[in-house]
Structure 1
């Protein structure tokens, strides 16, 4: 019998809590390649201050040790809400991420490209997954013989982020407020700025057949044919900075009817956003999945499926409770089986047209004005985001392995070489490392730039360096990259530990008597090593064309990549004022891949 979904979660090893000395030592080593001698010396002094026996960091670390012993899953259990829910800027485009589905998956091939048919197939598959999850019948993910944490699956359905003044909260099942799975039987459907409730599970608890859902979606398309006025599409508000959205929500729900409407929207299993156009190309599809028309989105929903007029489909994900690896497992399960197979497993039956109704808000002139302003502001913000897609149809993990190099190391070496050639420097680079092998594990922050990376780039840029020198430098840099990734997977990375000490001081420093400022957090090392020039993350799935997210700063290039055995697709994003550098990076990346392939090839 297959293990139950959460069978292994309580038995998984816990993320080890490093000592303060170890994290400080590692941080100095990790930041050193990016610092001048003077900057390093200043950072070294700041680290020494952090390690003072009578300093606040000792008190804060002792409190973290206490928390780690208090029965929690992980010492990071307070870190994640602070990191994700504590951000006060907008999450739309800045934090949410997307996947563009392939159009030749088993699910896609089992329907026509008709929008309602394709969307209904995705809904059928997702409801099947939801009911399997309710019964804990989704098999645990196993990687290299080790089960991974399945805890994030609890945030897939009926989860909505709620804006808060100081920090957001989450409305979700499997919580103290709502123990167990979501009892909801409906989804939220968006079309032309209108929002509808659509029941996907019948009154007696039996899921609707695919044909019923096709009819229901067509009924919504017909009923919502007239585009909603821009100042009535409340989804625009979810694009605001969280600090701006938070005070508006109480105004919105002061009207009992609005509170009831918002309740239906927030408890919906997920959102389906139907577009009235077909993307002109792949990049256009990716951009629309990342941001789109905010009248037709609710960026606070954990999961929003987006289906275009030609059947092209993808997903936009709110990041606070869900990481890419969980979404990949979810999406793979949906896309790798035809709709009839999902229907059979689901026990779906034809019940006629599903119940559906518009979700409308009563809005005064003040709210309407702010809704319209939010929509216009976000449209401009999205327009100020430059993107491009890069595809290698002749390179993938198989080729990298044949060259005797780790595929991810190959990718990161190419990124650094391309960045040097496009911007004239090596800058701080973030890579997300999955750590779901731990109880409640999510990700670790890897800092890519090592001394070996610098030596590799220098060798590649040195006209006097011969092939053997460059090849040896590439191999050394790849080995260092793999070693650092393994260090992250062992829970030995310094950044999140040191960052959590800063969060603890903010949360309860006064209570602990640890309010003294810590110069470390203003040191060149902390500031420079975390000021990303490249923010990178990978999502390997044969069912995905592209993966993407926004950049993290005014100079950053977001690099989301799908690296598979036979191909390598990247989606790049950066602020429009520095778009030229992004396009230069993309061009140099092509050259770097060719050079590296030739360099490592056996002669």
Structure 2
């Protein structure tokens, strides 16, 4: 018997118009906060130069006032949801480097939980041809079929607006990003990319696509997953379709210079030129791109089992694009041993949205979710190759992209760490914010590994605002500097060290709260720079302000550590690439009973990352002991 689901009292997108607007900070307030935030990273001379640049920016005849006035005018315009409406496209779609590894991120899922023997099965109301037999106990096919079935259940509920709006700490969250989960593809452009997405003027409402694109051995296949009536194929039928893909792909990989997905790893303008060449070469190529771009999502059936968790994470982040289309918003990656994860194109999706999606996919056994979706027997899904017509020049372009990305991936080194003794529950027992504690451990470890405190970014979710996404928090405060110095001061007793730790943790919590309230300077000032580039001449600001070349702006944004968290019991690891030649990317999963971290950095500075990892283990233990002793004495 199929499971039933009660319709939520509030539908998925019902809260959007009533959510509060992102507050537009006052210009003077952002400038003052900017100086406060960058000051701990600057010398006295650098701070003085930055203060001069800020004063010039704020002067009555300076560039700040007309730029801010234009932003305020835009924010008040009809149809504008937020003053950040143009910021996000400029930030994400305007970047011209690779998005593979540089911008996309991944989650490694927890292992699948076997369905109980009594799991319900989808009823078959009318006879249908039996699906082809799947390889007995094939963990890859079974896991991939289960993820497809779960994603289809989610899509059907999303289309009907039966996904309850997320509520965090009593505040409804924006659900707009959920519209970018299906049939969404980034399209490369010469100057700025675009996004092909449903819920748009060109494609009103939910996606009406019925297929996914499956990758195997460097080949692409269209596989229908919804029947003509819009109901999903049954779980056995999905598995049979995937088995047909595996059989059709054959036992050996296709020639690397025929795998067009490699082109998605190129810098964006170069990929735009390659895409134009594909389309111009043969009409079949435009049709193939149409199949890929309209597909609900991608399913990547990798043919090699990574030897360990770190290699699995690396493959999820920057696996060979013979088996990827990095422009696709959602790509499920499934390995032959049944381990699985997801690669996400970041322009329309942040981690919190994808986490809630993944939590729903793994909330119940696939058979139960397939039943809830209303799956019906339609016979084995239609499967056919997605083929491109290539000449020698296009094949050479693909081969060059393949080799270039392989070299690029080799220049990134990663480490996977797990600390079962330092989960969120332990921090709460120690009466300290879990996020503040790990962030301070990062600072202390970096201070000891590299001999300095460096600029640190942390992503703060702000979906409580209309069309809210994230805010850029800068972690280093004066209290952080005092904390690190005190911890390494041999004259400081435990009480003094504990007081410095508590003060730094409290400062961290306060600053995170400022970001959540919209009281943060970086994105505001950054958007003013974007306005100057777009409209400076007409606003009387023909050249960029010296503020954006000041030591404060350059140093504060030159990350030594770039951090982001993904708290979900359904995620083992989360990861992304580093953001500069000296940066360590820190993606952490802070669970009740453990802390899992994926570190990444450029190869030339690998030694610093390994030193940081060693010092981090020490720092976490040292801070735990300090807090434990402090509680015992209180």
Q: TM-score, normalising length from structure 2?
A: 0.94
Structure 1 equivalent of residue 230 of structure 2: 205
Matched, 1:148 2:173: yes
Q: Equivalent of 1:272, from 299, 310, 319?
A: 299
Kindly tell me the number of residue pairs found equivalent between the two proteins: 603
Q: Matches of 1:587 and 1:440 in 2, distance apart?
A: 40
Offset at residue 513 of structure 1 (A): 2.5
Q: Equivalent of 1:434, from 461, 465, 482?
A: 461
Offset at residue 516 of structure 1 (A): 3.2
Matched, 1:68 2:75: yes
Q: Matches of 2:378 and 2:491 in 1, distance apart?
A: 75
Q: Equivalent of 1:311, from 321, 333, 338?
A: 338
Deviation digits for residues 424-464 of structure 1, max 9, x if unmatched?
Answer: 10000000000000000000000000000000000001111
Deviation digits for residues 577-601 of structure 1, max 9, x if unmatched?
Answer: 1111101101100000000000011
Q: Equivalent of 1:417, from 434, 438, 444?
A: 444
For 1:82-231, list aligned pairs within 5 A: 82-105=90-113, 114-225=139-250, 226-231=252-257
Please, which moves more after superposition, 99-108 or 400-409?
A: 99-108
Gap regions ≥5 residues in structure 2: 1-6, 120-135
Matched, 1:28 2:19: no
Offset at residue 105 of structure 1 (A): 4.3
Offset at residue 209 of structure 1 (A): 0.3
For 1:25-64, list aligned pairs within 5 A: 25-64=32-71
Q: Any idea what SS the aligned residue of 2:69 has?
A: helix
Q: Matches of 2:595 and 2:619 in 1, distance apart?
A: 14
Matched, 1:504 2:536: no
Q: Matches of 1:409 and 1:593 in 2, distance apart?
A: 12
Checking the alignment, whether the CA contact within 8 Å between 1:186 and 1:269 is kept in structure 2 is yes
Q: Matches of 2:539 and 2:276 in 1, distance apart?
A: 33
Offset at residue 249 of structure 1 (A): 1.0
Q: Any idea what SS the aligned residue of 2:147 has?
A: helix
Q: Equivalent of 2:13, from 6, 9, 17?
A: 6
Offset at residue 56 of structure 1 (A): 2.1
Q: Any idea what SS the aligned residue of 1:247 has?
A: helix
For 1:341-490, list aligned pairs within 5 A: 341-490=368-517
Q: Equivalent of 1:259, from 277, 280, 286?
A: 286
Q: Equivalent of 1:529, from 541, 546, 556?
A: 556
Structure 1 equivalent of residue 3 of structure 2: none
Q: Matches of 1:293 and 1:472 in 2, distance apart?
A: 49
Checking the alignment, whether the CA contact within 8 Å between 1:105 and 1:543 is kept in structure 2 is no
For 1:560-599, list aligned pairs within 5 A: 560-599=587-626
Structure 1 equivalent of residue 22 of structure 2: 15
Checking the alignment, whether the CA contact within 8 Å between 2:532 and 2:543 is kept in structure 1 is no
Matched, 1:250 2:260: no
Q: Matches of 2:426 and 2:231 in 1, distance apart?
A: 48
Q: Any idea what SS the aligned residue of 1:272 has?
A: strand
Deviation digits for residues 109-129 of structure 1, max 9, x if unmatched?
Answer: 989661101100000000111
Q: Matches of 1:591 and 1:199 in 2, distance apart?
A: 52
Checking the alignment, whether the CA contact within 8 Å between 2:472 and 2:523 is kept in structure 1 is yes
Q: Matches of 1:65 and 1:24 in 2, distance apart?
A: 16
Deviation digits for residues 151-179 of structure 1, max 9, x if unmatched?
Answer: 00000000000000000000000111111
Q: Matches of 1:549 and 1:105 in 2, distance apart?
A: 26
Checking the alignment, whether the CA contact within 8 Å between 2:226 and 2:232 is kept in structure 1 is yes
Checking the alignment, whether the CA contact within 8 Å between 1:433 and 1:446 is kept in structure 2 is yes
Q: Any idea what SS the aligned residue of 1:510 has?
A: coil
Q: Matches of 1:439 and 1:199 in 2, distance apart?
A: 35
Q: Matches of 1:576 and 1:410 in 2, distance apart?
A: 28
Checking the alignment, whether the CA contact within 8 Å between 1:274 and 1:309 is kept in structure 2 is yes
Matched, 1:78 2:86: yes
Question: CA-atom RMSD, angstroms?
Answer: 1.3
Q: TM-score, normalising length from structure 1?
A: 0.99
Checking the alignment, whether the CA contact within 8 Å between 2:415 and 2:598 is kept in structure 1 is yes
Gap regions ≥5 residues in structure 1: none
Change (3 A) 1:307 1:108: farther
Offset at residue 104 of structure 1 (A): 4.4
Deviation digits for residues 278-300 of structure 1, max 9, x if unmatched?
Answer: 12111011000001111110000
Checking the alignment, whether the CA contact within 8 Å between 1:211 and 1:350 is kept in structure 2 is no
Q: Matches of 1:22 and 1:103 in 2, distance apart?
A: 48
Q: Matches of 1:580 and 1:390 in 2, distance apart?
A: 16
Please, which moves more after superposition, 513-522 or 15-24?
A: 513-522
Q: Any idea what SS the aligned residue of 1:511 has?
A: coil
Deviation digits for residues 360-398 of structure 1, max 9, x if unmatched?
Answer: 101111111010000001001101100001100112111
Q: Any idea what SS the aligned residue of 2:205 has?
A: coil
